[in-house]
Structure 1
Amino acid sequence: MTVPDLYSAGIASGWNVVDAATLAAPLALDADVAIVGSGAGGGVAAEILSEAGLRVVLLEEGALRTSDSFRDMDEGRAYRELYQEGAARATADGAIAILQGRAVGGSTTVNWSSSFRTPPQTLAHWAAHHAVSGHAAADMAPWFARMEARLSVAPWGMAPNGNNGVLKRGCDKLGWESHVIPRNVKGCWNSGYCGLGCPVNAKQSMLVSTIPAALARGATLVHRVRVRAFAHDGKTVGALAGEALGADGRTPTGVAVTVRARHYVAAGGAINTPALLLRSRAPDPHQRLGLRTFIHPVNLSIAVMPEQVDPYYGAPQSVASDHFQWKDGATGAIGYKLEVPPLLPGISAGVFGSVGEALRADMAALPRTNAMLALLRDGFVPHSEGGRVRIAGDGSPVLDYDMNDYLWDGVRRAWLSMAEAQFAAGALRVRPAHLDAPYYADWASARAGIAALPLAKFRAALFSAHLMGGCGMSDEPRLGVVDSGGRHHQLNNLSVLDGSVFPTSIGANPQLSVFALSAQNAHGLAARLVR
């Protein structure tokens, strides 16, 4: 059974979709609103603003890839075409890998579909410590409900796959809290290849939901265009300047793309949006731009089980545990959420961190391998200030993110928790993703071994797919780049509607938080512009 490609039919019916790689002459567009970035923030904003009758231009650096190109479920193709820097993006020192989408739909096209509401503890912390208003749990509840209904978000109704089952079994055995993960899917085939683009349009990413809705209402989508800067006078943005990219999606063709609009929305995510504003030399009187960028630093634990787990099949994430998330409150020792990642063969080879015969043995055991991950909740205490986005000489974004004792303490405690859960679930052997760690045959050995592991970058495998902050919101200009409505404090016709406005990390997979907050703020923006 094949699923029709939404875009072939839509373009044939008159959708305004421009592939900048095909442009032979400069392109100039006028709009009510120009949106830079088509992911969770930009895609939601495009639908809401076009629904209000506003002329919307949506610009995306990545290419338009649709279900037709996802059907091979090929890892190499997907990482090359759908991820920032071919899935090789990392912190400036290369110590923390960063998985971030780069295609129409942004990271929603390639994420694993986990959809959590922002924890009320996080929302309360923002109000109390970052002068954020209008986003308390009661304020956000209708917006979460709205986006959950719009994107078919519901707890996963099928049994967990073997990989998630290990986490559930371990939590049950130890008496730890666990819960079913809500997912934004409709008619899911349970294949497990969400990270490579959904071949059957079941995942309700922006690619198949809000962006088609905006296009049907007259919005224009320009893809394979890199927005270099906003032109402004210090108070008002007058235009945005972009450059067309070639068929490779990376090499500029020399063709200029210019958009003039009444209002501009930056929605490129928590690395690209701060970089865009830095390139634009946006006013930053309090030196906040690019600071407090958070990533939920992630560490892993690998277990070989007696049974076949097949960690590459089935819904990638369907079980999570918050047992350690708020154990010491919001501002105590760093908390973490336990989940599992899918283990497709290509990415697994990197996760194992082994070579030669050891790697062959690890890959041979892949069908019986479980992995757990911990999302460390950074940003809630003074000694967890996150990282900093800056720009290189060519204007490309760079993320500095250091690991201090506070974070390393969380890494070690998370390894211990994951190993304990894996052994409780029946693991034959367990190994933290650390170059100096062997496989441990029992919980007592693991506990002693993990306690002695040196905590250092490049020895411990660290990564993130959750990018937050860098343009933090606060009603107090000295504390934030934008106000609680996403409006830039100095540029009166610029808003930021993406995860870069989060004052801290949130302590859960952030896509539903971005959906709801962007919907709330885009609705307010639409009302102001229509008036």
Structure 2
Amino acid sequence: MRFEPISPDLPEVADVLVIGAGASGAVVVSELARRGFSTVCLEQGGWTPRSEFLGASAGWELGSQQTWHPNPNVRQGVSDYPIDVSQSDVNPLMYSGVGGSTILYGAHWTRATPSDFRVYTLDGVADDWPLTYEELAPFYERIDDVMGISGLSDDPAYPDGVRYPLPPLPLGRVGMVAARGMDKLGWHWWPATNAIASRRYRGRESCVRRGTCQTGCPEGAKATTDITHWPDAIADGARLVTGARVRELTTDANGLVDSAIYIDRDGRERRQRAHVVVLAANGIGTPRLLQLSTSARHPNGLANSSGQVGKRLMIHPYASVDGLYAEPLEAWLGPAGQTIISMEFYETDKSRGFVRGGKWHAMPTGGPQGHRSAYAGRPPADQWGTNFHHRISEVGRSFEWGVIAEDLPAESNQVLLANNLTDTDGIPAPKVIYKTSEDTSAKLAFHVNRMREAHLASGAISTSETSLMRDSGYHLLGTARMGDDPASSVVDSYGQSHDVPNLYILDGSTFVTSFGVNPTNTIMALALRGVEHMIKNRAQQKVATHV
């Protein structure tokens, strides 16, 4: 097979090749470049200039429903790949580009708890992680500092000693009213922790509360890795190739991964060689690429002797309750993410009929278009005509209690290669099979009932619920799980493949369980821990040979 020659500014053989320039890929590349490693990153998307974000424009709400929709099947951008969701209850959401899904995330920043790493020991379900909260805590702290996290210390739901570099964002009227009900019920709440600057921080502006966080931040107040990590990484010598859609990872005679074959923006097939390869392509992109990379030595996909690649997908199915209030709440003001959180129902109480729980967050409901179409799948009659005019009168007077409910792993929930769907380069697209379990359904129903109680305690005059939001699959976890036993896991606790020792996976696909909180800070902390282990043990690292 003939490949186009690589660009002259790229090394013929990189020390480390990283696939994906999002949350974890940026952490890995920045650490390697800072330490002097020859590092190349392949990213199928491109840079997204702040000038393209519509948050400061009159057309923002309309643009958010297409151009900046988080569902790639709706957005259909040039860098996106389609996903077969015909057998999934939830649509996966993601963004291809420098910064990855941090470009569109809500910047909720909530750590896992110590119990999250010991689910089997405590509750007899799923598996324990091969590391503890205490081992990860120093890496959480370092990521918090780089990302400029705004929060209030000493939340009693967490161990002592958690500190943040910036004070919390204002609670606003939404947060104050939400807290009023929680106080009345005697339930835990705390000012929310967000990856959004409450003050100027390391060149980033402070939040101006536009409430457009989930379609990009025009001010750059939201911590996205295209501004927190990539400028320094490139200054330190990292090479970033955008518009590079990876088709396959190849291996040498010893079974070690030695290169990535990718298609550039002009449709030319290229090959980047490397001694070590890191996958950071998210919980769908990573198993897709591993399954595409078959060979005589790896007939079921690369690094898949355990059969676990693509299995145990966890998405965090999402439920919410909106409360309508007589008083004005200025619910168009940001941040669009959480104002206060609650961990009242996070830990297991078996009297509820299920194990584990979830984190709540109070969120504003936005302006006219955001309020009308926040949830995909509602019948048109509920959105337009008389109902549209009726709902416009409610704008600014409501807020949402939402829950991130822990999604326990099931082998039947998985990522496969689609039989009859490809991306624009002819590469097989992923197919997602995901069904909510009886346990998950019971968990969501419990939380919906409690969130309704919280609204009523706050003085809501009416409530409406979404028992399962279809467009909620931001958290793509568990499809290349970590563990100590190579027979039942894909990588070890540092993300190093059991089968292919010069292949690392440092993204959300390595999660053993999903926790009941937003995962980005855990993904980045694990990536930092993994890359530092790689660097520390570089002398013992097996590497691909290139002749």
TM-score by structure 2 length?
0.80
Question: Superposition RMSD on alpha carbons, in Å?
Answer: 2.7
Q: Which residue of 1 aligns with 2:135?
A: 139
Corresponding position: 1:209 with 2:228? yes
How far does residue 241 in structure 1 lie from its aligned partner after superposition?
0.9
Q: Which residue of 2 aligns with 1:162?
A: 173
Q: Which residue of 2 aligns with 1:12?
A: none
Quick one: which amino acid aligns to residue 165 of structure 1?
M
How far does residue 529 in structure 1 lie from its aligned partner after superposition?
3.2
Corresponding position: 1:269 with 2:282? yes
How far does residue 173 in structure 1 lie from its aligned partner after superposition?
1.5
Measured in 2, the distance between the counterparts of 1:131 and 1:369 equals 40
| 1:160-200 Cα distance to aligned partner (Å, 9 max, x none) | 13333343222112111111222223322232211111111
Contact 1:299-1:463 at 8 Å conserved across structures: no
User: In structure 1, which of residues 174, 187, 193 is the aligned counterpart of residue 185 of structure 2?
Assistant: 174
Measured in 2, the distance between the counterparts of 1:366 and 1:49 equals 48
Structure 1 residues 160 and 378: alpha-carbon distance in aligned structure 2, compared to 1, 3 A threshold: same
Runs of 4+ off more than 6 Å: 126-129
Alignment of 1:219-230 (within 5 A): 219-230=238-249
| 1:329-383 Cα distance to aligned partner (Å, 9 max, x none) | 7994341211134434445433362233223322442221212211110117xxx
Quick one: which amino acid aligns to residue 320 of structure 1?
I
Measured in 1, the distance between the counterparts of 2:264 and 2:371 equals 35
Measured in 1, the distance between the counterparts of 2:399 and 2:30 equals 39
How far does residue 426 in structure 1 lie from its aligned partner after superposition?
0.9
User: In structure 1, which of residues 326, 351, 356 is the aligned counterpart of residue 374 of structure 2?
Assistant: 351
Corresponding position: 1:328 with 2:349? yes
Quick one: which amino acid aligns to residue 374 of structure 1?
V
Corresponding position: 1:397 with 2:419? no
User: In structure 2, which of residues 149, 154, 166 is the aligned counterpart of residue 153 of structure 1?
Assistant: 149
Quick one: which amino acid aligns to residue 349 of structure 2?
D
Q: Which residue of 1 aligns with 2:160?
A: none
Q: Which residue of 1 aligns with 2:452?
A: 419
Q: Which residue of 1 aligns with 2:258?
A: 238
Structure 1 residues 95 and 164: alpha-carbon distance in aligned structure 2, compared to 1, 3 A threshold: farther
Contact 1:300-1:372 at 8 Å conserved across structures: yes
How far does residue 127 in structure 1 lie from its aligned partner after superposition?
8.3
How far does residue 147 in structure 1 lie from its aligned partner after superposition?
1.2
Structure 1 residues 476 and 127: alpha-carbon distance in aligned structure 2, compared to 1, 3 A threshold: farther
How far does residue 270 in structure 1 lie from its aligned partner after superposition?
0.9
Measured in 1, the distance between the counterparts of 2:530 and 2:399 equals 40
Q: Which residue of 2 aligns with 1:452?
A: none
Quick one: which amino acid aligns to residue 33 of structure 2?
S
Structure 1 residues 270 and 164: alpha-carbon distance in aligned structure 2, compared to 1, 3 A threshold: farther
Aligned length in residues: 473
Residue 262 of structure 1: SS of its match in structure 2?
Answer: strand
User: In structure 1, which of residues 294, 297, 304 is the aligned counterpart of residue 314 of structure 2?
Assistant: 294
Q: Which residue of 2 aligns with 1:314?
A: 334
How far does residue 151 in structure 1 lie from its aligned partner after superposition?
1.6
How far does residue 91 in structure 1 lie from its aligned partner after superposition?
3.9
Corresponding position: 1:485 with 2:468? no
Contact 2:109-2:195 at 8 Å conserved across structures: yes
| 1:407-456 Cα distance to aligned partner (Å, 9 max, x none) | 1111211110111111111111111126xxxxxxxxxxxxxxxxxxxxxx
Alignment of 1:489-528 (within 5 A): 489-528=498-537
Q: Which residue of 2 aligns with 1:370?
A: 399
Quick one: which amino acid aligns to residue 113 of structure 1?
A
Alignment of 1:13-32 (within 5 A): 27=6, 29=10, 30=12, 31-32=14-15
Contact 1:132-1:475 at 8 Å conserved across structures: no
Measured in 2, the distance between the counterparts of 1:347 and 1:387 equals 31
Measured in 2, the distance between the counterparts of 1:386 and 1:508 equals 23
Measured in 2, the distance between the counterparts of 1:57 and 1:239 equals 11
Alignment of 1:246-285 (within 5 A): 253-280=266-293, 281-285=301-305
TM-score by structure 1 length?
0.82
How far does residue 275 in structure 1 lie from its aligned partner after superposition?
0.9
Q: Which residue of 1 aligns with 2:94?
A: 100
Corresponding position: 1:465 with 2:478? no
Contact 1:270-1:499 at 8 Å conserved across structures: yes
Measured in 1, the distance between the counterparts of 2:69 and 2:29 equals 21
Measured in 2, the distance between the counterparts of 1:385 and 1:283 equals 17
Contact 1:52-1:530 at 8 Å conserved across structures: no
For structure 1, the residue ranges without an aligned partner over 5 or more in a row are 1-23, 246-252, 435-456
Structure 1 residues 94 and 388: alpha-carbon distance in aligned structure 2, compared to 1, 3 A threshold: closer
Measured in 1, the distance between the counterparts of 2:172 and 2:521 equals 23
Measured in 2, the distance between the counterparts of 1:403 and 1:499 equals 19
Contact 2:354-2:439 at 8 Å conserved across structures: no
Residue 446 of structure 2: SS of its match in structure 1?
Answer: helix
